[in-house]
Homo-oligomer: A and B are copies of this chain.
Amino acid sequence: MASLPETIARILRTNPDALIACHVAPDGDCLGASLALAMACERAGVRAVVGSADGVPETYRYLHGSDRIITTPPDHQFSVGVAMECSSLERAGTFAEALTRCSTLINIDHHLSNAGYGNIVYWDTSAAAVGEQVYGIIQAMGTQITPEIAQCLLAAIVTDTGSFRYPNTSPKTLRLAADLVDAGASVHTVVERVYETRSAASLRLIGRALNNLTISADGRIAWTVITPEVLRETGALPEDTTGIVGMLRQVRGVKVALLFEVTPAGIRVGIRSRDAARANVIAETFGGGGHKGAAGFTMPGPLEDVIARTLAAVEKELAGV
């Protein structure tokens, strides 16, 4: 019996065209995997179009082919649709409907929560990145891994493993990365783009957030606050808060880190935890959600009440661990 990568490779090779759709708010894994698969299709003589409802973030515009990603669903009916890393069809955003119109719908994902839709479901939670899965498909297609394909797949893997820092990094992941470097990709180039191209304003924002760090008396909780005034004074954008709560969790002894952002929609609370503390359990107390190590919720202010109620929920979670 053919493996799933082989089955998908055969379907792609024997159809005239394919629409590959990213999830909304696309990341490097989803974009890199989609672009790599599209390039492999084109090399095999199959017309392939990559769609992203939310476009391409600045960070990933250096990836080969990213300038040809479409943001408006096409009228054309594609024979094959690929939902890339979309836990549900809705995650493809405005491209969901175009995917359902394809004769064959392929669902490729490595997240725990995939809904199992589509004609072919290639769901592998052991993969560190969906780029790992796509690498297998491209190999099964018999397509040469060009330097451009290698760079896109490496971007996928580096993004989803935090450049090999997350626990999902397996020996297989490291060997795959080695193969991609042999094929012409560069880890350093990906890292330069993903981790080393910030605005001065975003660094000043990190500075303000870290300088205002508070640690609980027992040293197990760290938190900081970002107000619209801080954003205005530093010139930073709301998305520049990414990564700050993770930095707070770096403090020795801290089990739960919290970032309180005052936004027009309410107080947005980002939670990161380590060891036995469960971020998702804390978030669920307030109707939010996420993973064990990273979760969040939004609730109305005032700020002081939200901080007090959140800290109480964290204390409760820490009492049980």
- The chain A residues found within 8 Å of chain B, CB to CB, are 163-167, 169-172, 174-175, 177-179, 181-182, 186-188, 191-192, 195-200, 203-204, 206-213, 215, 222, 247-252, 274
Chain B residues whose C-beta falls within 8 Å of the C-beta of A186 in the assembled complex: 167
Chain B residues whose C-beta falls within 8 Å of the C-beta of A174 in the assembled complex: 174-175, 177-178, 181
Could you tell me if A211 and B213 are in contact, using CB atoms closer than 8 angstroms?
no
Could you tell me if A198 and B252 are in contact, using CB atoms closer than 8 angstroms?
yes
Could you tell me if A171 and B166 are in contact, using CB atoms closer than 8 angstroms?
no
Residue of B nearest to A209 (CB): B207
Could you tell me if A196 and B164 are in contact, using CB atoms closer than 8 angstroms?
no
The listed residue (B170, B203, B211, B274) touching A248 by CB distance below 8 A is B203
The listed residue (B166, B178, B213) touching A203 by CB distance below 8 A is B213
Could you tell me if B207 and A210 are in contact, using CB atoms closer than 8 angstroms?
yes
Bound CA span A213–B211, Å: 13
Residue of B nearest to A199 (CB): B252
Assuming the A-B contacts A198-B250, A207-B213, are A181 and B187 also in contact, with contact meaning beta carbons closer than 8 angstroms in the complex? no
Could you tell me if B211 and A207 are in contact, using CB atoms closer than 8 angstroms?
yes
Bound CA span A247–B203, Å: 8
Please name the 10 residue pairs, one residue from A and one from B, whose CB atoms are nearest each other, closest first.
A207-B210, A207-B211, A174-B178, A171-B178, A167-B188, A165-B191, A196-B250, A171-B181, A198-B250, A175-B178
Chain B residues whose C-beta falls within 8 Å of the C-beta of A172 in the assembled complex: 178
Residue of B nearest to A186 (CB): B167
Smallest CB separation, A278 vs chain B (Å): 18
Bound CA span A188–B162, Å: 11
Could you tell me if A210 and B203 are in contact, using CB atoms closer than 8 angstroms?
yes
Bound CA span A171–B184, Å: 11
Smallest CB separation, A233 vs chain B (Å): 10
Could you tell me if B163 and A196 are in contact, using CB atoms closer than 8 angstroms?
no
Chain B residues whose C-beta falls within 8 Å of the C-beta of A191 in the assembled complex: 165
The listed residue (B178, B181, B208) touching A207 by CB distance below 8 A is B208
Bound CA span A197–B274, Å: 12
Could you tell me if A212 and B203 are in contact, using CB atoms closer than 8 angstroms?
no
Interface pairs (14), CB distance under 8 Å? A163-B164, A166-B188, A169-B187, A170-B181, A171-B178, A172-B178, A175-B178, A197-B250, A198-B251, A204-B211, A204-B213, A206-B206, A207-B207, A207-B213
